[in-house]
Structure 1
Amino acid sequence: MEAPSREKVVVIDPSPGAVAQRVADRFLSRVMARTRNGRIAHIALPGGSTGGTVLEAASRHPGIADVDWSLVHFWWGDERFVPHDDPERNARQSRAAFLDHIDVPAENVHEIAASDSGLTLDEAAAAYAAELARFGAKGEAWPSFAVCFLGVGTDGHVASLFPDRVEVTVTDAAALPVRDAPKPPAERITLTRPVINSAKRVWLVLTGADKASALGLALAGASYPTVPVAGAKGRKRTVFFVDEAAAAEVSEDLIDQNY
Structure 2
Amino acid sequence: MRKPQSLLITGASSGIGRALALAYAEPGTRLTLIGRNELRLADTAGAAAAKGADVTPVPLDVRDRAKMTAWIAAADRNHPFDLVIANAGITTGLAPGALTEDPDAVRAILATNLIGVLNTVEPLITPMCSRGQGQIAFIGSMAGLRGLPYSPAYCLTKAGVHAYAESLRGRLERRGVCVSLAIVGFVKTPLNDSITAMKPFEISDTRAAEIIKVGLARGRATIAFPWPLYMATRLGRLLPARLYDRIMARIEANVPETRERL
Range of TM-score over shorter length: 0.3 to 0.5
- Relative contact order, CA 8 A, sep 6+: which one is greater? 1
Give the number of the structure whose residues are more often helix, by fraction. Answer: 2
Pair member with larger Rg:
2
| TM-score normalised over the length of structure 1 | 0.42
